[in-house]
Amino acid sequence: MKICIVSHDAGGAENVASYICARNDIIGLFVLAGPAIKIFERRMGSIKITNLEEAMAACDWCLCGTGWQSDWEWNALALAKARRKHVVAFLDHWINYRERFTKRRKEILPDEIWVADEYAKKLAEQYFPDLVIRQQPNRYLETLVAEIHSLEVKQLRDSYQHILYVLEPIRQSWGSEEELGEFQALNYFIEHKNNLDLCGPLTIRLRPHPSDPIGKYDQWVNSQMNDKITVDTSSTLAELIAWSDIVVGCHTYAMVIALGAKKRVVSSIPHWAPQCVLPQPEIIRLADFASKNLKF
């Protein structure tokens, strides 16, 4: 089979690439852009990238990510429907389901939706009751967790408690604050981290999101005087989770990976902001303790 594989955003790219790597009976026609290019090359080596028109004309069916940072995948959905090609969309998160298929005030739905866990399947069935919803094995999560456990064996421990903060772009500001959500959450974590009843000295590594521009958090890091904080852009996500004792973030998928690796995971979203959308009950909500000045 020839599959037109369309991907732009990082989350969808990881899931789609994992699915393709597990199959040896298909020929991929890759229509990639943005963070997806490096993700596919990391997983599969050198890849020939083709344009959408050529791939759609030659394929048997189409598999798309569901990013919403660009129109890349939406344009592929539109062309697949126009060409009467069977098209599958892979949902990689638990939010903005309708928005991922709506651009320019027009909704274009695939023929099937794939998800990677039971939470997403239940949500997708609620949002799209007339579509086929299939739960696929979460090969991306399985592969990363196995890699994390193998790296943990090689870790040299020190006297510091290791905190990994996984960043993500949050373009809205919350409440009366003017700064963007990701910086509000960072400051909230720094201000209230003692509510987590941490022991010993801390070392904190920030992992930028793949879509973040270089240097986005440098000024914030330089303003922090009392903690050992660095931005890590060279280590892989698996290496950083293996290094960590605690993983903190807002509601990025990296937190779900950390849960799979049996790490303590904390959402740093402030109490005045919308709640963390991740459905996993094991995630600690810092706001539940900070607003009442309790310790976890």
232 has pLDDT over 60: yes
**Tokens read off for 228:** 């050992």
Supply the pLDDT for residue 283: 96
Domains of the chain: 2-137 (3.40.50.2000), 142-290 (3.40.50)
Size (the chain), residues: 296
Angle at alpha carbon of residue 178, lines to 247 and 167, rounded to 5° = 20
87 neighbors 110 (Cβ within 8 angstroms): yes
Higher pLDDT, 200 or 179: 179
Tokens, residue 124: 């997708």
User: If pLDDT is split at 50, 70 and 90, which confidence band does 183 have?
Assistant: very high
**Statement: residue 293 has pLDDT above 80:** no
Q: How far apart are CA 190 and CA 96, in angstroms?
A: 29
State the average pLDDT over residues 111-124: 95
Query: Which ranges constitute the DSSP H helices of 165-280?
Result: 181-192, 218-223, 237-243, 253-260
**Of 96, 101, 99, nearest in space to 112 by CA:** 101
Instruction: State the pTM of this model.
Output: 0.84
| φ, ψ (nearest 5 deg) of residue 223 | -85, -10
Read off φ and ψ for residue 237, nearest 5 degrees.
Answer: -60, -40
Q: What is the rounded CA–CA span in Å between residue 81 and residue 276?
A: 34
pLDDT of residue 225: 80
Cα 138 to chain centroid distance, Å, stands at 13
Query: Tokens 């949002």 belong to which residue?
Result: 127
Q: Which of 9, 1, 4 is nearest to 83 (CA)?
A: 4
What pLDDT, on a 0 to 100 scale, did the predictor assign at position 295? Answer: 60
From its phi and psi, is residue 261 left (phi > 0), alpha (psi between -120 and 50) or beta?
alpha
Q: Tell whether the model's pLDDT for residue 144 goes beyond 60.
A: yes
